[in-house]
Amino acid sequence: MTSLDKEVLNYDILKINLNTKYIGRTVFSFNELDSTNTYAKSIASNLDGEGQVIITEKQLNGRGRLGRQWQSQNNKGIWMSIILKPTISIADVSKITQVTAAAIYLGLLSQGVKAEIKWPNDIIINNKKICGILVEMNSEKIINSGAGDSKINYLIVGIGLNVNNEIDDFPEELRDIASSLKIETNKEFKRSVILAEILNNFEKLYMDLNNNDFSKALDTCRNNSYVIGKEINLIKNQELIEAKAIDISNDGELIVMYKNGKLDNIISGEVSVRISKINQ
């Protein structure tokens, strides 16, 4: 055990490096939780305002997308959720994943770590996944809306970031595809500093998005993309389709070109993207 393993994440340690107005200004910290996203959902409706952060040293049942598991049974990573009540429309919710990915990228860069963003929700270093994002939404139909419009009650942004994990901390089946900041850089990191830097960047990009300005997040995702220009496999309706990733659209969708030359815009959440080396 190293000295950094003993650092416990809570508001007192986080606030030293935090320069936000409201993101992370209320922190619920735990030793152990099933899942920070599940806990966040259970309290979100009863909280005033937004930006509360739930953080835990260990998750017993960390979740990925589509019912997949997220390995987070140790205190070496950052396992956290942010509660949001954005003013954006439901059509724009997928942009929150890109905003989050950009904030993680910029937060890591501030600590001298250069990562890549694998659309839509992974952060990659040296072809390995070090971080995953899970955005979950609670919405309801607006009564008396002739158009059948819905409004967002809340969003939960879940972030799982492997920080000081050793390769032995991952189960056998993940060792070829998963990694941590420590494994890739040979350095240990203060989780509190990384978390604060992610939240500092997140607040700026999130406030921009609420003001209809998605440009910085988009540029960050485009310029540091792991997929643009690469041959990829899309999993669409359980079918595997070969394509080339061309760009990310102004709305944050992945633009792909199929073998027959046809272009398609892929919306976050509808498909999984696989690159031959990386299995999701």
Smallest distance, ligand BT5 to C-beta of residue 40, A = 8
Nearer Cβ to ligand BT5 (177/257): 177
Edge-first strand order for the sheet with 150-162 is 27-33, 53-59, 77-84, 150-162, 128-141, 122-125, 116-118
Identity at 203, one-letter amino acid code? E
Q: Using CA of residue 146, residue 148, residue 154, residue 155, what is the dihedral sign?
A: negative
Q: Does 121 bind ligand BT5 (CB under 6 A)?
A: yes
- Residues 6 or more apart whose CB falls under 8 angstroms from that of 85 comprise 49, 50, 152, 153, 154, 155
Interface residue with ligand BT5 among 79, 105, 202, 226 (CB under 6 A) is 79
Query: Which segments of the chain does DSSP mark as H helices, in order?
Result: 11-14, 36-44, 94-109, 181-185, 191-210, 215-223
Tell me, by CB under 6 A, how many residues bind ligand BT5: 30
Q: Does 96 bind ligand BT5 (CB under 6 A)?
A: no
Both tokens of residue 148? Answer: 């059948």
Smallest distance, ligand BT5 to C-beta of residue 217, A = 18
Interface residue with ligand BT5 among 95, 129, 191, 204 (CB under 6 A) is 129
- Which span (143-151, 157-165, 188-196, 251-259) binds ligand BT5, by CB under 6 A? 157-165
In the range 11-40, which residues lie near ligand BT5 by CB under 6 A? 35-37
Which residues of the shown chain bind ligand BT5 in the complex (CB under 6 A)? Answer: 35-37, 59, 62-66, 68-72, 79-81, 121-122, 129, 132-134, 158-160, 162, 174, 178, 280
